[in-house]
């Protein structure tokens, strides 16, 4: 299959997302020694919020504020200041995943590339600029701006509209989350590739067109198909 479009998730698909390191850096700027125990407690609050966000039960703003409410009270700073500080720290430490640069370089000029992310606006453009990739992806579809999060078909349809509504068989969605990236892509009628770097079991009822463990493996598949 020769694809004309490849859409990527951002976090843990193109970019390494080390939330603990980002929180450590952010809290160090408030003179707080943020520990692994602190992180475990933060995740107990944060992870269910992301499920609710993807299910459309929370807005991006609600998620961003609720997850920092306890720390806001402890430090007597606003939840918005803490959230912005966290996203700024994540931009400061951002790194591409292994093989991402090589994959992007191999596809540049041969297919159109876009991003659909449930991440937040404040981080996305800064991060792409920092790694020199801001001109490689269009559209850049951010759930916070659209008001819908993957796996909602609406965010995929929004991206397809921005792309000029290409033949869906010519579009591949690549992501690490089978429930948001892969199921969302399947429901939108496009092909999907699950980046399963942890060797997880495939969830029942979710069948991607491809499953790879590394971006290098994906690059080999795509570059071979583009030469056929």
**Which stretches of the chain score pLDDT less than 70?**
1, 226-228
Do 22 and 88 meet the contact criterion of CB atoms below 8 Å apart?
Answer: no
- Reported as a single tens digit per residue, the pLDDT across 38-72 is 999 999 999 999 999 999 999 999 999 999 999 99
Residues annotated as catalytic are: 9
Sequence spans of domains, the chain = 5-16+95-226, 19-92
Query: CA torsion, points 108, 111, 114, 116, in degrees to nearest 10?
Result: -130
User: How many Å is the Cα radius of gyration of the chain?
Assistant: 18
Give the rounded percent of residues in the chain with a pLDDT score beyond 90.
Answer: 95
Preceding peptide of 139 cis, ω within 30°: yes
The pLDDT of residue 34: 98
Q: What is the pLDDT of residue 1?
A: 53
Backbone angles phi, psi at 13, to 5 degrees: -120, -50
CATH entry, 19-92, from 1.10.150, 2.30.30, 1.10.3470, 1.20.1050 = 1.10.150
Q: CB within 8 A of 130, min separation 6: which ones?
A: 91, 94
**Residues 6+ positions from 165 with CB-CB distance below 8 Å:** none
pLDDT given for residue 127 in this prediction: 92
DSSP 188: T
Question: What's residue 228's pLDDT?
Answer: 46
Q: What is the pLDDT of residues 117-133, one digit of tens each?
A: 999 999 998 999 999 99
Residue 32: phi and psi, rounded to 5, are -115, 130
pLDDT for residue 224: 82
E strand or H helix at 171: strand 171-175
CATH superfamily membership of 5-16+95-226: HAD superfamily/HAD-like (3.40.50.1000)
């Amino acid at each position: 299959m020769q694809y004309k479009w490849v859409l990527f998730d951002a976090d843990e698909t193109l970019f390494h997302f080390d939330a603990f390191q980002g929180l450590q850096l952010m809290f160090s700027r408030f003179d707080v020694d943020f520990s692994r125990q602190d992180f475990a407690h933060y995740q107990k609050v944060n992870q269910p919020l992301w499920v609710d966000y993807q299910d459309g039960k929370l807005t991006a703003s609600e998620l961003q504020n609720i997850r920092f409410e306890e720390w806001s009270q402890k430090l007597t700073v606003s939840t918005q200041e803490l959230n912005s500080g966290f996203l700024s720290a994540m931009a400061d430490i951002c790194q591409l995943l292994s093989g991402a640069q090589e994959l992007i370089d191999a596809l540049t000029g041969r297919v159109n590339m876009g991003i659909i992310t449930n991440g937040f606006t404040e981080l996305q453009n800064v991060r792409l600029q920092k790694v020199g990739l801001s001109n490689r992806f269009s559209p850049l579809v951010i759930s916070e701006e659209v008001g819908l999060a993957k796996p909602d078909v609406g965010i995929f349809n929004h991206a397809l509209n921005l792309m000029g509504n290409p033949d869906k068989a010519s579009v591949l969605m690549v992501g690490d989350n089978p429930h948001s990236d892969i199921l969302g892509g399947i429901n939108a009628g496009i092909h999907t590739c699950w980046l399963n770097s942890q060797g997880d079991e495939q969830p029942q009822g979710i069948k991607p067109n491809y499953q790879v463990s590394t971006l290098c493996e994906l690059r080999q598949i795509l570059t071979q198909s583009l030469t056929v």
